Amino acid sequence: MVLYTSPSPKNWNGRKSEEQLYLHEKVELVPITEIANLKTVQYALLGYACDEGVRRNQGRTGAINGPDAIKKMLGKMPNHLPKDHKFLDVGNVACVETDLEHTQQQLAKNITALLDQQIFPIALGGGHDIAYAHYKGIKGYLKDKKPKAKLGIINFDAHFDLRNPENGPTSGTPFFQIAKEEKEFNYLCIGIRKDANDKQLFETARELDVVYIERQVMRLNYLEELKTWLKAFIEKVDCIYLTIDLDGFSSAFAPGVSAASPMGFEPQLVLELLTSILDSGKLLSMDIAELNPDYDIDNQTAKLAASLVHFVIHEQPV
C-alpha cells in the first residue's frame, strides 16, 4: 500500500511581506492529481517520504521525514523568481509499512506526469532508492516524447549504490537496477570514497563502465580539471538526471544523513559543478536524497538541501 499526502501549509512558514519576498509566499500548494489543469509551471517539489530502502540496507532510519524538513527550511528563504514563474509543492508519496516497491512505482508515475506537463521535477527524499523510482519516471516520459534521447545520470555521492538487488531493492541498489535496464549505461558518480565502498563495488563499477571521481580530488584547486571531466560526460548525452546524496558532503556540513562521515566534500565545490550542469541546458530532472532529520543539528543538513534547491531554481535557464 502506498500513501499520497497532499501538500501541507504547515511546511511553509516564514517572514511576512506584501511582495512575495519569501518562497513560502511564492509557493503554490497543488495536489499532484490537479497539475493537468495548470499552464506554464516551471518547478514542482515532490516528496518521497520513504526510508524502507535504508532499513533494508542496514542504515539508520529517519529519512522518511526528510521531504517535509527540506520544505520547511526552503520556505523561509528569499524568493528571487520572476513573477510569472510558478513554483509548486505537489505533496508527498509515502511508504506504508514496508511496501518500497509500490512506493517507487507511484513516484515514477508522478515524475512522468510532471515531465509530461513540461514541469521540472525536484524530488525530495527519503532514501536513495528514490533514484530508481525517479529513473523509471524519466524513462516513462522519454519513451513517448524522446525515444532516441541518450540519458546521462550524474550522482554526487560517497557511494556507488551498485549493490546487486538479489534480495530485493534497497537504498544501495538503484544504479545497479538502472544499469540492467539501460542499453547504454551513462553514469557519472562524483565523490566516491574508498572507505565507503568495498572492492566488489569497485569491480562492479569497472564492469559497468561507470565514470567516477574520487573524493580526494574534490577540491577547489582542481576545479578546472573537474569541470573538464564533467563537460566530457555531458557532451556524450542528450539529457541529464541529477541526483544528490547528502551523505556525500562532509558531516561538518551534513550531519543529518543516514550514513554520515567527516570525509566528504564541501558545498561550494558542488555549487561550482552544478553551474556547469545547469549551463549545459540538458538537465531534465533532479532529486536530493538521504536527509535524516533525526540526526540533524540545528537543521543544518535540511538548510543545505534547501539551499541546493534554491540555487537550482534560481540559476537554471528556463
Judge whether 310 is annotated as a binding position: no
> Are 224 and 257 within 8 A, CB to CB?
no
159 is in an annotated binding site: yes
Q: Is 128 marked within a binding site?
A: yes
Cell of 297: 543539528
Beta carbons of 313 and 87 less than 8 angstroms apart: yes
Instruction: Tell me the C-alpha distance between 126 and 93, whole Å.
Output: 10
- Is residue 245 a known part of a binding site? yes
Name the residue among 93, 79, 95, 6 with its Cα closest to residue 42: 79
Residue 72, all three cell numbers: 520547511
What Cα–Cα distance (Å) separates residue 155 from each residue in 31, 187, 255?
A: 28, 8, 19
Q: Which residues are annotated as a binding site for Mn(2+)?
A: 128, 157, 159, 161, 245, 247
Sequence ranges of the binding site: 128, 157, 159, 161, 245, 247
